[in-house]
Copies of this chain bind each other. A is one copy, B any other.
Amino acid sequence: MTSLTFNRIPKCHFRGISLPDGQPQHCPQCIANKLNYCGAIDMELGNQLQAIVVKIRFERGQTLFTQEDSADYVFALVAGVMSCSHYLADGRRQIMAFLFPGDYIGMATGERYSYSGEAVTEGEICRFRRKPFIKLLTKFDDFEQHFFREVSNELAEAQKHVLILGQKDATERVASFLLMLDERENRYGAHDDIELPMKRAEIADYLGLSIETVSRTLTKLRKSGVIAMPNAHLVRILNPDGLRDIAFD
């Protein structure tokens, strides 16, 4: 049920359900709505969304948009995992967030995205032109409130991230990261092992650590018995309370 296969989307239970190929589906059937919008999209809104949506499949490693691009679109991730990264001129990369099915991207942005959207796994995304999308926001009141909550949650996530980066040491950071993934995967129903679809380098750039430190820390947690790692991209939490203690909030 949770075997690790990166080749086909549906295999990984928390990466969302692939839509049938072809034209975009009516949005109420879309996983993105099921997960975050609780099915509250009405038919009329669904139809209007359908008129401005383009569904895009993407491959692992692909860049969907860059931090320099004019922010003409809003996206809804349907399947797969993405990252939002900000690059400095010398190549340093800060990953701002990992995105999972049901997440929206580029809601709260200025004239340009200030981060690049990159595919961590292959997947599928719905792309909406911003202007008509925003018009729908003002037209459908719950829809607007929904996005206010979305952006609020994103802010809360960013603040947690600030706390991790500003105050926590390497072990606390990695433990917090594992718990974050665990919690995230729990939204899709019970699961046993945490999947790490991203590379060590991506975990490192999310946590402000080096690849080597991430690797050493995982090894340390494994040797101390709070987690097990069936393989390099699968983590089983053996002692949840212990891990929470280590994460320190």
Contacts and interface: CB of A to CB of B under 8 A. Distances in A.
The size class of the interface chain A forms with chain B is: 35 or more
A190 interface: no
Contact of A138 (B114, B141, B156, B208): B141
Given A108-B156, A156-B108, A248-B89, A162 B163 contact: no
B155 A108 contact: yes
Contacts of A141: 138
Identical chains in the assembly: 2
Nearest to A158: B158
Interface in A166-186: 166-167
A115 B155 CA distance: 13
A159 B154 CA distance: 10
A89 B156 CA distance: 19
Contact of A86 (B138, B163, B248): B163
A166 B94 contact: yes
Interface stretch (A11-19, A45-53, A144-152, A228-236): A144-152
